[in-house]
């Protein structure tokens, strides 16, 4: 099946192909671009620690960090490392694991077809042995220990542990040294055969690309897979936080903090909800906001301060982070400002300014081929299309945002994570 999706206002279009193998493919050509970008992703991340295939009777409970471990191992086959193959063609390759997906990617100025073949081949050719798994356990253990010394990383995951009691978002994406020591080749094959089913995956390419070449390579390499469904179990999560405050000491000159309000528990957030929360946070804490100016004038923050709507499958936190000599005072002022904004509501002037800002950013994003391909993957897994954000921003109203504001910033469900100097 092939379908062309067009947005006439933007003057942009892309092609969706449901390949015979079960894989969903998106091709977004950009005329005049000399480079190409491809990303091959699966809906499998660090939070998927307990799951069952529809064709099996029992659930699998796997060690924390397995998705990230599997990402590392796929680059190695019996004969060669995929990075070496990409280097020979002049392409830049990478991969990443998040809470809810794993992606493999490359960018190149030449040899797109050859690089696409490398990408599809190595992701579809798992090779795990006891010896290679043991070697990787040592490498990832070093990576885990390295992140323990990262103030920003630790402040975020300490916050998630303070906010979430049961949801696996409170687990470090790479797991722990103990958890990865329990991973075996059988563990990796179980997870691969479950989540790397092509019906659970997506390929997105953008830039100097041709849909016919992409289909040709997919036809050559990808074989049909059974369309199984995957049940994932998450324990019930309370509306309250685990603890209001958590701290750790590391080698920092200025305290680093992460402060977040726990949002109501939902399986998924719609694009419209995410956009309304983004507008609220932009008005409350962007660099043009009264709160930012007040905190800056009092010397409580620096330019590192930022706010974001941190969300994924089953979790959402309105998050503020940065550096401060007095993180507790910053948190107090944020809480006070959220009370004020909820009492008075958002003005039409502030709403329109923020909406137009996000609207402009949405338009500009179509000039970035990496951003386009990454967003195609993200929207596919959410069940949206690439133009959803642009279309929603066009019709979003002040009433929508003020309604969402009422369910934001729960005064009884927030936590502060601080990294203090040793």
The token duo for 94 is 């990478």
Burial class (CB in 10 A: 0-12, 13-18, 19+), 176: middle
Residue 291 has pLDDT above 90, yes or no: yes
| Per-residue pLDDT, 24 | 98
Q: Reply yes or no on whether the pLDDT at 78 is more than 80.
A: no
For residue 5, the 8-state DSSP code is: E
**Which candidate, 324, 354, 300, places its Cα nearest to that of 151?**
324
Residues 286 and 412 grouped into a single domain: yes
Quickly state the pLDDT bin for 81 (edges 50, 70, 90). Answer: confident
Provide the percentage of residues in the chain whose pLDDT is more than 90: 94
Query: Could you tell me if residue 237 is inside a domain?
Result: no
E-strand stretches of 121-272 = 201-207, 230-232, 245-250, 256-262
pLDDT > 90? residue 268: no
User: Is residue 406 over pLDDT 80?
Assistant: yes
- The residue segments making up the domain with residue 115 are 2-232
Radius of gyration of the chain (CA): 23
DSSP state for residue 366 in the 8-state scheme: G
Mean pLDDT of 229-251: 95
Mean per-residue pLDDT, 319-339: 98
Q: Which is it for strands 414-421 and 245-250: parallel, antiparallel or unpaired? A: parallel
Backbone angles phi, psi at 308, to 5 degrees: -155, 160
Domain boundary among 184, 201, 232: 232
| Cβ atoms of residues 244 and 417 within 8 Å | no
Mean pLDDT, the chain, integer = 95
**What pLDDT shows up at residue 267?**
85
Does a structural domain hold residue 238? no
pLDDT classification of 80: cutoffs 50, 70, 90: confident
Residues 228 and 249 grouped into a single domain = no
* Mean pLDDT confidence for 292-316: 96
| Same domain, residue pair 35 and 132 | yes
pLDDT score at 112 = 97
Per-residue confidence band for 233, with pLDDT thresholds at 50, 70 and 90: confident
Question: Mind listing the pLDDT tens digit for each residue in 330-367?
Answer: 999 999 999 999 999 999 999 999 999 999 999 999 99
For residue 399, what is the domain's CATH number?
3.30.830.10
Percent share of the chain, pLDDT over 70: 100
Q: Which of 204, 232, 260 is the last residue of a domain?
A: 232
Q: Does the model's pTM come out above 0.85? A: yes
Assign 127 to helix, strand or coil.
coil
What pLDDT does 206 receive? 98
Statement to judge: residues 282 and 382 lie in one domain:
yes
Residues 75 and 140 in one domain: yes
Q: Are 115 and 203 within 8 A, CB to CB? A: no
pLDDT higher than threshold 90 for residue 79: no
- Positions annotated as catalytic residues are 71
Closest CA to 202 of 101, 82, 67: 101
């Amino acid at each position: 099946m092939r379908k062309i999706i067009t947005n006439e206002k933007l003057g942009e279009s892309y092609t969706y192909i449901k390949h015979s193998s079960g894989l969903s493919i998106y091709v977004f050509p950009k005329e005049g671009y000399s480079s190409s970008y491809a990303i091959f992703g699966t809906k499998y991340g660090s939070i998927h620690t307990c799951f069952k295939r529809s064709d099996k009777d029992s659930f699998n409970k796997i060690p924390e960090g397995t998705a990230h471990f599997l990402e590392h191992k796929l680059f190695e086959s019996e004969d060669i490392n995929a990075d070496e193959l990409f280097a020979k063609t002049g392409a830049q390759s990478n991969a990443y694991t998040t809470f809810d997906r794993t992606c493999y990617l490359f960018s190149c100025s030449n040899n797109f077809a050859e690089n696409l073949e490398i990408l599809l081949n190595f992701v579809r050719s798992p090779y795990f042995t006891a010896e290679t798994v043991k070697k990787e356990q040592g490498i990832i253990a070093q990576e885990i220990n390295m992140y323990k010394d990262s103030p920003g990383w630790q402040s975020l995951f300490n916050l998630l542990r303070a906010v979430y009691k049961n949801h696996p978002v409170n687990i470090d994406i790479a797991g722990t040294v103990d958890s990865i020591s329990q991973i075996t080749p059988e563990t990796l094959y179980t997870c691969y055969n479950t989540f790397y089913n092509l019906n659970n995956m997506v390929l997105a390419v953008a830039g100097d690309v041709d849909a016919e070449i992409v289909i040709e390579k997919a036809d050559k390499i990808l074989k049909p897979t059974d369309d199984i469904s995957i049940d994932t179990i998450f324990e019930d999560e309370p509306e309250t936080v685990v603890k209001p405050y958590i701290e750790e000491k590391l080698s920092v000159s200025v305290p680093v903090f992460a402060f977040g309000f726990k949002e109501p528990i939902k399986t998924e957030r719609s694009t419209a909800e995410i956009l309304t929360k983004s507008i609220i946070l932009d008005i409350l804490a962007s660099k043009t906001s009264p709160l930012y100016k007040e905190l800056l004038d009092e010397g409580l923050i620096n330019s590192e301060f930022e706010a974001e709507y941190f969300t994924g499958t089953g979790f959402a936190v309105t998050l503020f982070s940065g550096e401060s000599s007095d993180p507790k005072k910053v948190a107090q002022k944020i809480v006070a400002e959220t009370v004020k904004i909820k009492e008075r509501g958002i003005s039409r002037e502030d709403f329109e300014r923020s909406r137009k800002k996000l609207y402009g950013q949405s338009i500009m994003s179509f000039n970035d081929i990496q951003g386009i391909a990454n967003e195609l993957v993200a929207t596919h897994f959410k069940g949206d299309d690439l133009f959803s954000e642009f279309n929603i921003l066009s019709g979003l109203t002040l009433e929508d945002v003020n309604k969402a504001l009422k369910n934001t910033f729960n005064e009884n469900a927030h936590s502060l994570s601080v990294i203090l100097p040793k």
